[in-house]
A and B are shown apart, each in its own frame.
Chain A
Amino acid sequence: MLMPGPKSSVLSRITPQLIILGVALLLNVIVLPDFFHIDFRNGRMFGNLIDVLNRGAPVALLAIGMTLVIATRGIDLSVGAVMAISGAVAASMVVDGHGWGTALLAALATGGLCGMWNGVLVAVLRIQPIVATLVLMVAGRGIAQLITEGKILTFMNEGLIHLGAGTIAGVPTPILIWIVLGVLMMLAVRRTALGMLIESIGINERSSRLAGINSRVLLICVYLVSGFCAALAGVIVAADIKGADANNAGLWLELDAILAVVIGGNSLLGGRFSILASLIGALIIQSVNSVILLSGLPPEFNLVIKALLILAILVIQSPRISYLLYMLRATEPRQDPGQSKPKEEAAQ
């Protein structure tokens, strides 16, 4: 698993996540046999699978940015609050009569600015990420309330609403947004040296700095991207309910985003990361949500069941278990010291 050939590397990296997603979807099918059924009505796709993809959009978007932040050994607790801020900005802009494009750009810029603030605290002032982003997590909702003047700011701007509730070629817009952004980001980190440099900082920042990597700028950029992703998620959530709710938009979603990244097999200790795996992680969370809803269990069970399922996933991926598996594999060749000369040499 550690050193796969170049061809199978992506697939073997995400195999555990695909299996878990498969199981989660299977549970959905057991509860609701025609879970995969997709209708095409009024020029729009309908179906439970589409719902999972659509409802999972905010967490998926957050997970993209969060993956990069976590890869640098950081964490971004402020994304939920940034969603509220950017939703409030977008809503207040269209309420003031600006076009939806301007509103979107303003919201994204605000998100980027929030991310940059986090980045400066972490990279320049060297505040621990969890504390640095906690500041904005707490203050952010206050800022959002100031923008909405304490009420739920509703709007009727068709363009903006389209981002959250509309469709393009029958596909709900949020699905397209997270898939497109995910693909763009994957290309951005893997087709440039960005991914490697981010991983390098996360694994050993001191070594990286000594190798001449500009870790400060990279760190700021990573938090900026996280803020940007959060802003996009915030706009979608606001557009979906046609209003900006400073108190509830994105509430606790930072935790789901972190969970998606962790389920995606990315270590909170930073280093090697896979955005694709995180996105699958986000889908796993949404599938679990879906199965609980579809099962018709009383809602008070929801959180407990979700916690149990996630606990199971994390236990399977826990260091102790993976260490046991690793040791099981590692001890095998040592049984015959005489025979495996070339290997021994390599390991010396």
Chain B
Amino acid sequence: MTDDIRPVLHAQGISKFFPGTIALDDVELRLYPGEVHALLGENGAGKSTLIKCLTGAYQRDGGTITLDGQEVNPQSTAASQKLGIGTVYQEVNLLPNLTVAENLFLGRQPVRYGIVSRRKMNASARATLSGYGLDIDPAEPLSAYSVAIQQVVAIARAVEMSGKVLILDEPTASLDRDEVQLLFSVIRQLKARGLAIVFITHFLDQVFDISDRATVLRNGRVVGTRLLQDVTPKDVVTLMLGRQLEARVQERKTGAVGKTLIEIQNLSKRGMIEPFSLELHEGEVVGLAGLLGSGRTETANLIFGVVQADGGKIKLRGQDITINRPRDAVAHRFALCPEDRKTEGIVGDLSVRDNIILALQARQGWMRPIPRAKINEIAESYVRALDIRLASLDMPIRLLSGGNQQKALLARWLATNPEFLILDEPTRGIDVGAHAEIIALIEQLREDGMALLVASSELEELVAYSTRVVVLRDRRQVSELTGDQITPDNIVRAIADEAAATVETA
């Protein structure tokens, strides 16, 4: 497909702000007829926000959308459907208790004398679905069929109602291999019919399997649009993970590593992560690299007792310790800043002050309240030390920006004076300034002798502060890089191995 063809849908300069963050910044997306366009990016990169702006689920704060050369401005998903933009979500949002035909024609059933004509509806449903290579009985309830078939019915409904642009949001997430192929054959047919298709997924091999073009988002910006025949999976991974901090790479200091603090031996949880072992020393930052779903967060959660391990053990200074819940971990002076700040980190309606003091107070128990003056002293000193910008310590923490929330969470844990700090995506979704400050803080803490485990999808960042990097893939530890081996290229290679291999054999 060449660029001379006029795009069916052309979104330009799309911006979307949420309180405190820029979710989309000047995003451009061109969708061409008869082309599958993959939308890539780590969680929080802005994929779903972009989709929601296109379908009118969100009102965009800036930019224009032209559809067939006409500027459009859908106010709701129903309006965008009428315009020709259909969307199918990961969770099939059809009604499983109704028949296949009813699902297909819901809201626009063929009517005779004011009564729904079942026969006509079933006949045209059968005709429609056979166009998708499905030979099923449309009078059966939808729930009688597999998720893949339900997915195809959802696609058929979206296409019949809309018919210009089809957005597939992680359609393959819950499908097995054969079902994915069924879905892909449907997608290929639609492609041949000239639809512009947006395909969102985390599976790189599927992207290369079905898509013609890919747009990569990172932190709400488009970092590149590529014709996939011109690039390798490694290129795409590199784009997704970014190389913003390249200049810093050389500055990395490999300070003296102290005594062994923690030994993790074959810690495992069936279905979550394969047994892994890890040794952490005082004054050391171990980086955890890997794509989304590779087991970074699972590793962090297992060590901290968020999830109970079903095998292996943890030793602290040579002593066996039991961690069944986060409480146990906190008692051993572990700390964890989770990946999902909103649902696992902040307590939104509590004041910044209370949020900072929370973990320390929880460890002391409710009977021994920290005196008001002491609370203020702790909170104020961290606000100053970490440069947390706020109007007042009394304001609810949810009103702070992402970066300041993250700093307040760091303050919460630093106040407990931890020996071992786990940071899961400490810089995700925060602005550049706070980003640099948090990296500086990590280095400071390492120099002070703390042991840190940092999971991040920002490779340059990992390279900048890690003394060792553990690479995870498919919920397994696949390699460990030390010293001069720690470069973005090496990490990308370790991450991409499998994905590349799969594409080659496919």
A residues at B contact (CB < 8 Å): 2-6, 191-194, 196-197, 199-200, 203-204, 206-214, 218, 271-272, 343, 345-348
Known: A3-B394, A192-B367, A347-B401. Is A209-B325 also a contact (CB below 8 A)? yes
Instruction: For A191, list chain B residues within 8 Å (CB).
Output: 369
Chain B residues bordering chain A, tally (CB within 8 A): 47
B369 touches A3 (CB 8 A): no
| B-to-A contact residues, CB < 8 Å | 19-20, 304, 306, 325-327, 329-331, 336, 338, 343-351, 354, 357-359, 361-370, 389-392, 394-396, 399, 401, 404, 412, 431
Q: How far is the CA of A194 from the CA of B338 in the complex (A)?
A: 24
- When distances are taken between beta carbons in the complex, the residues of chain B under 8 Å from A203 are 347-350
Identify which of A192, A203, A212, A218 gathers the most chain B CB atoms within 10 Å of its CB.
A212
**Sample of 18 more A-B contacts, CB < 8 Å, known A204-B343, A210-B338:** A3-B394, A192-B367, A196-B350, A199-B347, A200-B354, A200-B358, A203-B347, A206-B344, A207-B345, A208-B347, A210-B306, A213-B358, A271-B350, A346-B389, A347-B20, A347-B391, A347-B401, A348-B389
Partner of A193, one of B338, B361, B394: B361
What's the nearest-Cβ distance from chain A to residue B150, in Å?
Answer: 29
Cβ contact of A194, chosen from B347, B351, B366, cutoff 8 A? B366
> A333–B411 Cα gap in the complex (Å)?
30
Report whether A196 and B361 are in contact in the complex, using a CB–CB cutoff of 8 Å.
yes
Closest to B364 in A: A193
**A1 to nearest B CB, angstroms?**
12
In the complex, what distance in Å separates the CA atom of A127 from the CA atom of B321?
A: 31
A207 partner, pick from B329, B346, B351, beta carbons under 8 A: B346
Asked if A197 and B366 sit within 8 Å, CB to CB, the answer is yes
Bound Cα distance from A200 to B344, whole angstroms: 12
B425 smallest CB distance to A (angstroms): 15
Contact B354 A196 (CB under 8 A): yes
Of residues A192, A196, A204, A209, which shows the largest number of chain B Cβ atoms within 10 Å of its Cβ?
A: A196
Q: Verify B389–A192 contact, CB threshold 8 A.
A: no
Write 23 A-B pairs (CB below 8 A) sorted by A numbering.
Answer: A2-B395, A2-B396, A192-B367, A193-B361, A193-B369, A194-B366, A196-B358, A196-B361, A204-B346, A207-B346, A209-B325, A210-B304, A210-B326, A210-B338, A211-B362, A212-B359, A218-B366, A271-B350, A343-B391, A345-B389, A347-B399, A347-B401, A348-B389
Assess A197 versus B344: contact at CB under 8 Å? Given A209-B326, A212-B327, A212-B330: no
Is A210 a contact of B344 with CB atoms below 8 Å?
Answer: yes
Chain B: CB-nearest residue to A189: B366
Nearest CB to that of A221 among chain B residues?
B366
Give every chain A residue within 8 A of B395 (Cβ-Cβ). 2-3
* 6 nearest A-B pairs in the assembled complex, by CB-CB distance: A212-B330, A346-B391, A212-B362, A213-B362, A193-B369, A211-B359
Kindly identify which residue among B325, B349, B366, B399 contacts A272, using a CB–CB cutoff of 8 Å: B349
Distance to closest chain B CB from A222 (angstroms): 12
CA of A169 to CA of B358 in the docked complex: distance in angstroms? 44
Give the complex CA separation of A70 and B441 in angstroms.
39
Q: Give complex CA distance A271, B19 in Å.
A: 22
Nearest chain A CB to B389 CB, angstrom units: 6
Contact at A207–B363, with CB atoms within 8 Å? Answer: no
Q: Report the bound CA distance from A317 to B431 in whole Å.
A: 36
Contact partner of B358 among A192, A194, A208, CB < 8 A?
A: A208
Shortest Cβ gap from A8 to chain B (Å): 12
Kindly list chain A residues whose C-beta atoms are within 8 Å of the C-beta of B359. 211-212
Query: Using Cβ atoms and an 8 Å threshold, which residues of chain A touch B358?
Result: 196, 200, 208, 211, 213
**Inter-chain contacts of A4 with B (CB < 8 A):** 394
Q: With a CB–CB cut-off of 8 A, which chain A residues contact B354?
A: 196, 199-200
Residues of B within 8 A of A213 (CB): 327, 358, 362
Output the least CB separation between A43 and chain B (Å): 41
Contacts of A347 in B (CB 8 A): 19-20, 391, 399, 401
Minimum C-beta distance from A340 to chain B (A): 11
Task: Give Cα A290–Cα B91 distance, bound, in whole angstroms.
Answer: 54
**Contacting pair B347 A192 (CB below 8 A):** no
The CA of A346 and the CA of B396, in the complex, are separated in Å by 12
